[in-house]
Chain A
Amino acid sequence: MKILIVEDEPKTGEYLRQGLSEAGFMVDLAQTGPDGLHLALQGQYELVILDVMLPGLDGWQVLASLRQRDLHMPVLFLTARDQVEDRVKGLELGADDYLVKPFSFAELLARVRSILRRGRAGTDLATTLKVSDLELDLLRRRVIRAGKRIDLTAKEFGLLELLMSRHGEVLPRSLIASQVWDMNFDSDTNVIEVAIRRLRVKIDEGHEVKLIKTLRGMGYVLEAPEDS
């Protein structure tokens, strides 16, 4: 999958390229607005990550030019100005998502995957999720591990559903808070930590293979050993 990054800050751009490449994407990097637009018009990108403040053409102008030429690949904005007007402007122009600098890479990666998954809607309609010997039945709201039923609260079920539907992906705390509890702001609580710990006790205790892992400083991931 090809991703274009347009970012004029050399270090940021380089780290983003490295990070996304290591996450399995094909990444091109442009440092100015006109270069970015040129590349975007040529290559077949599935996603463009655009900085707002760019030399030559700013992010909004690049986006507007793309949409004018009937190119509708998803666009993720990076903005240092966390102003509401920017948000509104970006979404009006057809941006798919935005991240306010400074952001964590785990958060960016999770958002990139969310956007790309959205593009392939329809394939995720399975009613059961299965990772290793853990099964989650969305219709009957049941969870079974190694043939044994596990009782979960509604929120625990929601949390497990998120982790399983995106198994193998590192999910940062802020994304979990937003998806499971609809808390769309950074809070300084340890709610997610506690919730994961309790879920882990129910899911992994007594099993040799631990599915839920903590990646310090990045977030949480649910994966079967053969996934990694």
Chain B
Amino acid sequence: MAGVVVFGVGLLFMHEADQHFIDLDRMTLLDKQHLIEEILKDTASPKDLRWRLREALSHHHGLFSQVKDPSSAIIFESKDFISVPKTSEDNTLLTWKNEGIEFRAIRSQFLSVTMPASAFEITVALDTQHHQHFLNDLQRSFAIYAVLATLISGLLGWWAAHQGMAPLRAMKLRAAGVSGQQLDARMPIAAVPVEMADLARALNKMFDRLQEDFRRLSEFSSDLAHELRTPISNLLTQTEVTLNSEREGAVYRDILASNTEELQRLSRMVSDMLFLAKTEQGSDLLHKEQFSAAKEVQALLDFYEVVAEEQDIHLSSQGEGSLFCDRLMFRRALSNLLSNALRHTPTNGDVVVDISATERMMQIMVINTGSAIDPTVIHRLFDRFFRADPARTHLTSDSTGLGLSITKAIVDAHGGTISVQSDSTSTRFSMTFPH
């Protein structure tokens, strides 16, 4: 690159120098021409003339001149005068080559004061070889500079690139150290140039997300093992103890029924987890359709009505709007919120489903009266297997601890949001779905 630049500058310079030399030569030639004219004007005797011309012109190296009197007889000619090609025009700069040497010349007519109506012919010519030498030297120098510049800029470029890549190499090293177990490495944002800081930041954010996902995944695995271990060990113990001695038929039936219930809960947990995994995979499994939110809500309220009545809870809905969702999934999401609300609403409380539309989203809110959820755990409500009330053991509850996670996964798959707010008088779960 640098070589090309130097080469280009060289060409330009050479061209300029050439022009400059032409101008210079023209001026020199005109100068000499005037000198000759002055001499011709001042001097009458041909002898004096010859002498003065020789005095004036013969010392100039590389300058050739010739003066012809009106009768075309040569009155002065410098040594080694070369023949100048005939030109049609006088007073123009003529350039030609003779045996590889470039010459420039100007020819002019001078009307003699002493002999009017007749003219002297003045020819002055210059050997431009010294210019050529200079230009050749220049050309050579430029060539050398160009090569040097190329080499140096190449070296500099390599060095700069090497220096510039240093942060990238540092990042590469960090990245090479990252694995599933080792996700806490971060790109050195402070140590990299501004241009790369954005990349480093983006990579760090990616690592944050991955680390969070990994953490949740491994937590989930251990939670899952824990959730399965207790009921399985209960089932095993109970079955083994039962087999240890002879019992009444009714006792066997009772134990088998109890085992069945426990197994059904486990089976539901497995199905729920499969459902969760499937839903979190993406939204391509959704069968979206347009339907009335109020109608769907009413169907669910009808379903839960008996349970609400049993607990003297007033169950109602307000507002309406149109939803574009997977209807079965929506039912399931809202059903989980409702059953959750009914579990946590005290006797004589209220559960209200509120449907409202904002510009871009439909909001479905489930509001229940009751005491506040502990603010230290509220953000964990949607975590799998999380139970706000640690005293509630899974053996007495039919819940798999996955209900709210499933609701969140369904809302997420639809591109919506879910949130929960709780104060001393009520708790509100809010789902939004895009129109």
Contacts and interface: CB of A to CB of B under 8 A. Distances in A.
A185 B331 contact: yes
B264 A189 contact: no
B257 A217 contact: yes
A188 B331 contact: no
B332 interface: yes
B302 A82 contact: no
Interface string B48-77: 000000000000000000000000000000
B398 A188 contact: yes
A191 B305 CA distance: 8
Given A188-B339, A218-B260, A181 B303 contact: yes
Interface residues of B, number: 38
B400 A182 contact: no
Interface residues of A, number: 27
Given A186-B268, A188-B403, A217-B256, A83 B306 contact: no
Contacts of B261: 216-217
Chain B contact surface mostly: helix
Contacts of B328: 184-185
Interface string A207-228: 0000000011110000000000
B304 A82 contact: no
Given A185-B332, A217-B258, A191 B303 contact: yes
B267 A102 contact: yes
A217 B260 contact: yes
Given A184-B328, A189-B307, A104 B398 contact: no
B270 interface: yes
B270 A216 contact: no
A190 B331 contact: no
A191 B331 contact: no
Contacts of B336: 187
A198 to B, nearest CB: 6
Interface in A99-135: 100, 102-104
23 contacts: A82-B271, A83-B278, A102-B271, A104-B264, A104-B267, A177-B303, A182-B299, A185-B331, A187-B335, A187-B336, A187-B339, A188-B339, A189-B339, A190-B307, A194-B306, A195-B306, A198-B306, A215-B257, A216-B261, A217-B257, A217-B261, A218-B257, A218-B260
